[in-house]
Every structure is written in structure tokens, then in C-alpha cells.
Structure 1
């Protein structure tokens, strides 16, 4: 028992040293910046590939998704590179805006993917898609409006209750996104499964929908839990 207690104490001490070490923090920030940078480059390459392949269709949902992905991850990468400078920004409300805004844009980006899948699902079932885009714009408008109100409240009266409320709001948006992926990604996957898989391309698309649905649902759910206990 004493050996395990000593090991746990040593682990806690090591974690405290790492967590409070500016060197480790900088390494973590730079590693995250590099990862977001890679994702941004991949999104840009995908956007260019699609544009070169089908330039006549203009800004499709798929192109907008990759463009937003590029913007969001580029901004996140930049914020992590300049994290020390961001922490020195005053008034403090601008720190919250710089850190929170990419998260909102991230939600919009992947909500757009859910919209894309929902449109495919409804069109395949010969159902009207007229209400999907207005719903997408309305949901995003409401979310951004609430976040702006929370920023103003934080600026006006930066009490702990407002900060907790802001975290809970981010957790709720993440849970909402996870539910969207589960609902429409799951529906699309099950619908595609009913069709005979005649080619490698169709099987690849089926697997792609399944993997992306699972990963995005899991990531948004984990993000929700992390925001609740942060």
C-alpha cells in the first residue's frame, strides 16, 4: 500500500511540475499549433482539389466546409503559437473572444457537415430539404447571439457564475453537435447500408460516413464532458 501511495504521490508531483512548467506548456502549445496547422493544410489541399475538379459548381457545401475548416484550424494554430501574447491581451474579454471564437467557428464548420449529410438523406428519401438551411442559419445565429451576450456579461461583470455559464454553454453546443452527428450521420450510414455495395468507391463512402460519424460524435461528446469538469 505504501509503495502504491508513494508512486501516486510521485506521479502527482511529476504532473504538477509538468503542468506548472512554462517549457512544457510552450511545447504543448507548439505541438497543438503544428497539429492544427497540418489539418489546415489538408483542408486547403482538399479545397483546391475539389475546385480544380468541379470549378463550374461554384461554392458548394463541400467547398465551404473545407474552406471553413482551413480558416478555423489556421486561426487555432496561430492562437496556440501566440498563446503567451494572447494571455497578455487587455482588456481580458478579448482573450475570451480570441480563444472562444474559433470554437464557435468549429461548431459551425461541422454543423455544416451535418447539414450536408441531412440534405443527402432527405433527398434520397424524396423529402423536402427546404427547412434545413434556414434551421442551420437560425441555430448558428442563436448560438452566436448567446455567446456575444455572454462575452458582454463577462466584460461587464466578470464573476465566476458568468464564466461557469459560458463553459456550460460551450458544453451544450458540443452536446448538440454530437447529437446531430449521431442522428444524421447514423441515419445516412444505415440508409447506405441498405443499398448493395457494388464497388470499392461505394464501400469506401459507407466506411467514411461511419468513421466520421463515430469520430465526430465521440470528439464532441468528450469536449462536452471536458467543458463540464474543466
Structure 2
């Protein structure tokens, strides 16, 4: 009797596992569907192009309002946002051609470059707020920009070393290492965005304007 109950429980669990796998099979269908991929890539292209256009409009508005200040940190931020999102929109629009580029490392350079520029863009935003904080506290700001350039230089140097390793190695291990590094980029980018959102919200609340989000 106990053996029959155990067998029945095992069959039920196996059925639940198969049902769960069947539910998750939708991703395989999307991954293998050229129609779905085309729709997703073009949708992302439109989204990134829209963000790029907004950044360009903001840059033009600031330039027309205060042209006498030259290239400030705020203007550079909007310019880099325009470049990053415009480049991503272009890559998504031409995704078929990008995937066919040979050698493979050149395609990886094109796909990884927006991520590097994104890092530079939002560390520039961190630099902007760090300078405001230091000036409000009457603290020296002479070490902030060197720290910005040093951190960006380190990340670019690391990425270039990975590209060279992939080009010279030509092995699946090097490609997996590059994908792992890119995954780290994604995690860092999301955490950085969340941190900046909290920082902006805190600054707005302390200034008495309320939270913007």
C-alpha cells in the first residue's frame, strides 16, 4: 500500500514537472521564431530611437537656453545618451547584418560598445552629483574627475583585453568569458540605475520638492 502511494506521488510530481516545462516552452518557441525575433528587435529599435530623440531634444533646448556656458556636464550627459541609444537603435535595426559580421569578435565589439558608453554616461551622472555634493559641503573636487577617467579607463582596458583574447584564442571558452563579462555589465547597469533613482528621489524629497518618481 505504501509502495503504491509512493509511486502515485512520484507520478504526480513527474506530471507537475512536465507541466512546468511545457509552460516554459514558450521561450523556445519565441527563440526559434523569426517572426517573433524580428518584432522584438524592431520594437527595441523604436524604443531606443525614441529615447535617443528625447536626449537630442533636451540637448538642443539646453544649448539654446544657455549657449554661453559651453559644454557642461549636463550637456555631455545628454549627448552621450543620444549616442548610446542611437547606436543601440541602429544595431537593433540592422541586427541581421550585425550577426553576419566576420570575424565574430568585430560583431562583439559593435554589440559591447553601447554597454561601455552606457557605463561612461551614467558614471558621468554620478560625477555630476558628486561635484554638487562636494561643492555644497565645501569639499575639494579636484580628485573626482581623475577618478572618473581612471574607472572608465580600467573598464575599457579590461574589455579591450577580452576582445584581444577572443581574437587570438578563437575558442568557445573565450566567447563564454566574454558573455559572462557582458552579463556582469547588465547586472551592474541595473544596479546603477536603481541607485541613481533612489539618489534622485532622496535629493528631491530633501529639497522639499517631493519625490519625482
TM-score, length of structure 2 as denominator length: 0.82
Relative CO higher for 1 or 2, CA cutoff 8 Å, sep ≥ 6?
Answer: 1
Structure 1, 9-18 or 55-64: larger mean CA deviation: 9-18
Alignment match, 2:153? 141
Structure 2, unaligned runs of 5 or more? 1-11
Structure 1, 18-27 or 182-191: larger mean CA deviation: 182-191
Aligned partner of 2:67 among 47, 55, 63: 55
**Partner secondary structure for residue 207 of structure 1:** coil
Aligned partner of 2:76 among 46, 60, 64: 64
Alignment match, 2:40? 28
Q: Structure 2 matches for 1:110-189, cutoff 5 A?
A: 110-173=122-185
Compute the displacement of 1:174 (Å): 5.3
Compute the displacement of 1:173 (Å): 4.8
Q: Does 1:107 align with 2:107?
A: no
**Partner secondary structure for residue 137 of structure 1:** helix
Alignment match, 1:207? 211
Alignment match, 2:4? none
Aligned partner of 1:11 among 23, 32, 54: 23
- Counterpart-to-counterpart distance in 2, 1:108 and 1:145: 13
- Counterpart-to-counterpart distance in 2, 1:33 and 1:59: 28
How many matched pairs? 201
Aligned partner of 1:93 among 99, 102, 105: 105
Aligned partner of 2:57 among 37, 45, 68: 45
- Counterpart-to-counterpart distance in 2, 1:23 and 1:98: 24
- Cα 1:53–1:105 shift into 2, 3 Å: same
TM-score, length of structure 1 as denominator length: 0.77
Structure 1, unaligned runs of 5 or more? 198-202, 212-230
